[in-house]
Each structure stands twice: as structure tokens, then as C-alpha cells.
Amino acid sequence: MKKTILKATGISKSFSHVPILKNVDFELDSAETHILMGENGAGKSTLMKIITGVYQQDKGNIYLDDGKGNLEEIAFSNPKMALEKGISMVFQEFNLMENMTIAENIFMGYEPVKKGLIDWNKMNQDALKWMEMVEIDAPPTELVENLSTAQKQCVEIAKCLSHNAKIIILDVK
């Protein structure tokens, strides 16, 4: 059964009075995959960044499933707010700390704690679950700088999954 989980209507955005998006509508149903295609500068990344709270739209509305089958209007002022509502994004430029491990990158800012200290064993064990889902063939203690570009992208996706994201947006080149 078709169920709308995200809806954007009339989204407009300008930078320095240059219109980037003009009255864009977008709808996402559960269990769907969408691909936004277009030339560089068409506004694909801008729309995705508005949905995830990196940018705020000048006009228009965004609605998200409230978990009870209803769409509620949302306005994210930052990506953390979007993440808390189940929307996560992998950006073109990875947001990884190269000198840290895969596990540290997956759980950065959300590290498991035991007696006030990071529980390294739990973090590495929990990272394996997400790493297996995206088929990262490396130990969780591997430094990110040693990974291929494809593996780094998988770490970014594992981060999204570890936050139980219901909507994952990939902004790829």
C-alpha cells in the first residue's frame, strides 16, 4: 500500500538574489527509491540540503510522516533536528575524520558510555553490525584514511543506519 512519508511543496530558495529552486514539489512514499538527475547547478543538492536542515527554504512547506500515518509540517534549522526525525544524508564531500577508526566515525557524538567513559568494546562490536549491512570488509578499528573511496562512502551510510534513519539521502557526484 502506498504511503507518503515525506512531501515538499512549493519549495523555493535563492542565494544572493539568484534563484536556485522555484516552486519545487517532491513526494516520497515508503519503500521507494528516487533519483534526482540534472545538470550541475540544477538545485538537486540544494533541495536535499533543505530537506535535511542544512539550508532553510525561502518559500514552501515540508511535511513528514508523524509515525501514525499523518503528515505533519516540519521545519529543520539544522541537520541534527532532521536526524532526530529519521532523515540522514551522505554528502558529496564526506564528513569523516580520517585519523579516527571506522567505529569512531560511525558513532561520533553518540559513543556508547560505561561509567562515564567510552565503552570501546561495545562501540567496536556495535559497529560490526552496521559494517556488515553495508559490506565493509575491514575491522572496526581500521583508520578511515586507509579505506578506499567506496569504503568511505559505506562508512557514511553505516552512520546513517546507526541512527535508525528512515530516509537516507545520498548526494553523489
List the chain domain ranges: 4-85, 102-162
Please state, in angstroms and rounded to a whole number, the distance separating the CA atoms of residues 66 and 98: 36
What's the fold here for domain 4-85? Rossmann fold (3.40.50)
- Identity (one letter) of the amino acid at 163? H
How much is the pLDDT for 41?
84
* Grid-cell match 542565494, residue found: 15
How much is the pLDDT for 69?
84
**Grid coordinates belonging to 48:** 536535499
How much is the pLDDT for 105?
98
How much is the pLDDT for 146?
98
Strands of the chain (E only): list them: 4-15, 18-29, 59-65, 71-74, 87-90, 113-114, 117-118, 167-170
pTM: 0.86
How much is the pLDDT for 28?
94
**Grid coordinates belonging to 150:** 567506496
pLDDT along the chain (173 residues), means of 10: 91 95 95 88 93 96 92 93 94 93 96 96 97 97 97 96 93 80
